[in-house]
A and B are shown apart, each in its own frame.
Chain A
């Protein structure tokens, strides 16, 4: 249990990967693969996810640094390591964490051969880009950085906590083409974002004509944080009240959004097939409990200018410090706004090209897994592409995979993924049917599994379903 906790804490603590589920994608034996491509081939007649256990998904990563980089057991000083990393990392490096928990997931094939599926899941998604300049300023100060323009625009982060209600259709159009679509309703419980910021901070050595030794200038600053679901939490008393208020929003009590997933599978010929899907094409409309903060302006600080006014007995001098504070607030005001805003969901795009070989049903016995009559391959190899749209542009990953149907009840998929985190990400997924109960587990970065501290990202999905195959 201690190790398991370590894994979870590492996942959460290291912060995490993106939302790539490269092992589950195209793994048609697992009902949840339908969540990654609503147009995937459905091999069963019905499925019921075991409530709260049908998919537990953790995904965490940091593109520029691992726990080991900082906390390794060595003779060098931890602060030197941090300094080195701060300078090595770029402002496009990022930390992400995603967690999903399926509450309900079900599906059935209707008489018209459409496979309907639906469910509810809860999702937490967080990304923060590494604000390199601000990290340097905090870590080193400004003494060695005179005339250097610290970029305030490097602040870029979003976080969302929501419930997603979804319902989808999947239909095999003909022997070659299967299509699907899924409608999603998002019920946002809490959300914030700080993106599209700009401005600089610079300390310049003044010249003879300068008022003082330095000029500390904030130039063209425009930094904002938009929140929804936050303002009303401030007045609540204790974590119990906060938790119950947030959970109360899970059932459309918060801000609502809408989106779709679409996808298809195209069998090019007996061996080759192509799959494509686009997920979360949609937006959340934040109108309730919205509060945003915006600081903007330009200001140069020279210090405090003493006037030495002639004073009579008992008279006070000017309130220099208050005047200075007022001047800063006037020149760089922090406005609190209550404007509605629309937040586009981070759209995900998946594509896969698969080459199948070896007939799985070589014995001639009942082809129980394949009622549609299409040949099931014993093995598949192929490649996949994944991208997710993030505030500073898309993050992409490429995967080579090998899939093998080991027995009628057991199949496995191995993946090798190249992404923003590493070039050595090997993953493995297993799906096992024990009677009607399907269990699956998928994890990546297995090479680093003996020491998770060295992993820059970790991803884990597991779950239980009840699957009823075609008669």
Chain B
């Protein structure tokens, strides 16, 4: 009798295990999972003194000064796939009594220009530096161009210069990366 009872109970308990299931769920939704972090990151900064625009040896003005830095993370494969939008923010504080044209030229590994941006910077005075803010919003097809770049050339052009020019052109900048994984 006991053995007779044991078997059905075992069968019932076994059935319980084999019929356990996962309901009311939809695992296809996994494809919709998207991380969308928005990352704020400093970019470049500099302090350019007015005397940098005049060659004291030759007594000639230097109208354009340039510098280049690699930004290797930009053409990284995973960033290329996940970057949906990038917003560059440049903040100039100019205490030089000249305005400037500042250009940002993004270059690929092979020095091909992939993206350019630029702005006009208002002239200021030593006593009261003038703030110029510039935002460059990059999205859509331009993102593809931007993420081909792995270096940026910064060119600062002054319309005129002399040896008595004083002051500093200061730049602070950051980028907001809108990502989607």
Contact = CB atoms under 8 A, between A and B. Distances in A.
**Residue of B35, B36, B42, B173 with most partner-chain A CB within 10 A:** B42
Contact of A214 (B7, B32, B40, B68): B40
Contacts of A146: 40
A304 B6 contact: no
Helix, strand, loop or mixed for chain A's interface? mixed
Contact of A73 (B25, B34, B65, B70): B25
Contact of B10 (A214, A309, A430, A460): A430
Contacts of A77: 32
A216 interface: yes
Given A146-B40, A308-B66, A68 B25 contact: yes
Interface string B17-44: 1111111111101101111111111111
A430 B25 contact: no
Given A79-B32, A143-B39, A452-B22, A306 B45 contact: yes
A301 B73 CA distance: 15
Contacts, number: 179
A7 interface: yes
B127 interface: no
Given A303-B44, A321-B70, A67 B38 contact: no
Contact of B20 (A71, A216, A430, A452): A452
A82 B16 contact: no
Q: What DSSP secondary structure best describes chain B's contact surface? A: mixed
Given A302-B45, A432-B10, A4 B5 contact: no
Contacts of B9: 406, 410, 430, 432
B134 interface: no
B26 A139 contact: no
B38 to A, nearest CB: 4
A6 B67 contact: no
Nearest to B49: A308
Contacts of A72: 24-26
A141 B39 contact: yes
Given A6-B21, A143-B176, A321-B70, A409 B154 contact: no
B71 interface: yes
Contact of B37 (A10, A138, A211): A138
Contact of B174 (A7, A141, A213): A213
Nearest to B68: A317
Interface centre among A71, A77, A451 (most CB of B within 10 A): A71
A307 interface: yes
Nearest to A406: B5
Contacts of A138: 35, 37
A270 interface: no
Contacts of A140: 37-38
A185 interface: no
B21 A213 contact: no
A466 B14 CA distance: 20
A6, A301, A306 — which one has the most chain B CB atoms within 10 A of its CB? A306
Contact of B42 (A216, A432, A450): A216
Nearest to B23: A451
Given A4-B18, A138-B37, A443-B17, A67 B25 contact: yes
Contacts of B172: 206, 210-213
A312 to B, nearest CB: 12
A137 interface: yes
A221 B87 CA distance: 30
A213 B46 CA distance: 12
A149 B82 CA distance: 26
Contacts of B27: 71
B45 A453 contact: no
Contacts of A144: 38
Contacts of B13: 428, 430, 441
Contacts of B154: 306
Interface string A336-362: 000000000000000000000000000
B2 interface: yes
Nearest to B153: A317
Given A72-B25, A303-B174, A407-B6, A141 B179 contact: yes
21 contacts: A4-B17, A67-B25, A78-B29, A139-B37, A144-B38, A203-B40, A211-B45, A212-B172, A213-B173, A214-B40, A214-B174, A303-B42, A306-B154, A407-B5, A409-B6, A430-B13, A441-B17, A443-B16, A451-B21, A453-B23, A453-B25
Given A72-B26, A302-B42, A450-B20, 19 more contacts: A3-B20, A10-B22, A68-B25, A78-B32, A79-B36, A142-B37, A143-B40, A213-B174, A304-B45, A308-B66, A308-B67, A317-B67, A319-B70, A409-B2, A409-B6, A432-B10, A434-B6, A451-B23, A453-B22
Interface of A: 3-4, 6-7, 10, 67-68, 71-73, 77-79, 82, 137-144, 146, 203, 206, 210-214, 216, 301-310, 317, 319-322, 406-410, 428, 430, 432-434, 439, 441, 443, 446, 449-453, 460
